[in-house]
Every structure is written in C-alpha cells, then in structure tokens.
Amino acid sequence: MGLRAWFRPQLIGLHLLLVVAVTGCVAGGVWQFGSYEGQQSQERVERAAMDPVPLDEAWQRGEPFTTDQDHRRVVVEGRFTTTDEQVWVSGRFQDDTSGFWLLAPLVVAGGDDAIMVVRGFSPDLVDLPPVPAQPTSLTAILRPGEGDGAALDDNRVIGSVRLPALLNELGRPLYPGYALATSDTGAGLALAEEPTPDVSWTVGLTNLAYALQWWAFALFAVFMWWRMCRDQVATSLES
C-alpha cells in the first residue's frame, strides 16, 4: 500500500512538475558550464595568439618567475655561450615519440644573465649541435623551471629543467625560468612542441557559479518534491 500511495492520481502532477523542474535546472546548469568551458578555451586561444614582446618588457632581470611570465611570448636577443655548455633534457615526448630537448644558455643582450633556451627536440642523443657564432634574436615562450629529476651525467643529460642544478653547473647567473624557442635557432632540430597555455579556473567564474546554482536548484526541487509527496502519502495512510 505504501509504494502504491506514491503513485496516487493526486500526486501525478507533483511528479510531472519535478521532471520539468529538474530537467530545466540541469539543462540550465549544463548550458552555463558549457559557457564557462568556452571562456576557458577562448582565453587559451587568445593567450596562444598574443604577439611577442621584448623579453625585458615581460620580465626584468632579478625578478622571480610568476604567472604573469608563464606562457608569455617574447623576443629574446643575445648570444649563445659555448657549444659544450649545452645539455640534453630527457623524458620529453613529441608526436608520441620519446626523446630529448636541447637546452642552451643564451646571455641576454645588455647584461650578464643567461636564460636557458630549448633549441629543439631530438628523438635520439646526438652530438651537441654547434651554437650560432653571431648574436641571435629568437621568439620563445617563457616557462617556469622544473622540479626534481636525474642529475646531469657524463653525456650532458639531465632529467628535467632544474635551474638550480644548471646554475651550479654553468657558474653563471640564470633567469629563474626558461624559454622554449618557437623560431629556428640553427640547431637543425625540430622545434619543441608548444605547451597549451594554463588558464586560471576563475576565468568565466560567473558562469561556473550560475551552473552550480542551477544544479543546487535541481536538488532543492527534489527535496521539496519528496517532502510534499511524503506529507500527502502520510496523510492518505492515516485516513
């Protein structure tokens, strides 16, 4: 009797109202969440399409690396140091192929600080390509240094872009971040794959809040439906 009481004709209207309310609220939440994801995607596209600016406009010497520098497109001018100061970074993947980045220090024009530049990707360890003899101007994407990894070995291979370890190895001041070249550096290697720009979760936050609000309304509708039906069923069972 109890279960059948929930399907009494008097309650059919509440059941239909619940279906309409929950469907509308869930759809509204999905639409708002889609708008949130759309704004996130648009922000990534806009950041990826930003025109490069001179390095010193984006990042001054001595400044720490912050989210403002991350993924910034810059023009770096300076001179590469010697060929034998380059290193290979293991554990890189490109087009489903594992391999190595070629990392080289470039002394930025107008000072003594060097920035580590990813000159390209190689699927195999080869002889270190020579660095350009003349001053260089290249476009690049700024990235933060990486964490733990294997130490530099006798083959000039290191497990990550560990800037403190490279600082000790090279014995010269380094920017606390590195530059992934997006223009040819004369290494004879394929350029390293550009990373997808990171976007703060707060981009499109209003739409995300509306999505959560709609889904909260759906839960509230279910609660009110349950309470009203329960009260009517309880009344019918008492009579």
Q: What is the DSSP string of 134-191?
A: S-EEEEEEEEEPP---PPP-TTSEESS--HHHHHHHH-S-EEEEEEEE-S--SSSSBP
pLDDT value, residue 2? 58
Sign of CA dihedral 94, 95, 97, 102: negative
* Whether 217 contacts 117, CB under 8 Å: no
pLDDT value, residue 49? 74
Crossing angle for the helix pair 205-238 and 9-48, to the nearest 10 degrees: 170
**pLDDT tier at 169 (50, 70, 90 boundaries)?**
confident
Between 128 and 4, residue with greater pLDDT: 128
pLDDT value, residue 228? 87
CB atoms within 10 A of CB 76: 23
pLDDT value, residue 100? 96
Q: Number of C-alpha atoms within 13 angstroms, CB side, residue 34?
A: 6
pLDDT value, residue 3? 67
Residue type, 66: T
* Whether 145 contacts 163, CB under 8 Å: yes
**pLDDT tier at 96 (50, 70, 90 boundaries)?**
confident
Q: Where are the domains of the chain?
A: 2-47+202-238, 72-181
pLDDT surpassing 90 at residue 116: yes
| pTM, 2 dp | 0.73
pLDDT surpassing 80 at residue 171: yes
Q: How far apart are CA 158 and CA 101, in angstroms?
A: 10
**pLDDT tier at 9 (50, 70, 90 boundaries)?**
confident
pLDDT value, residue 62? 83
pLDDT digits (tens, 9 = 90+) for 148-165: 878 888 889 999 999 998
H-type alpha helices, 49-119: 55-58
pLDDT digits (tens, 9 = 90+) for 16-62: 999 999 999 999 999 999 999 998 888 877 777 778 899 999 998 88
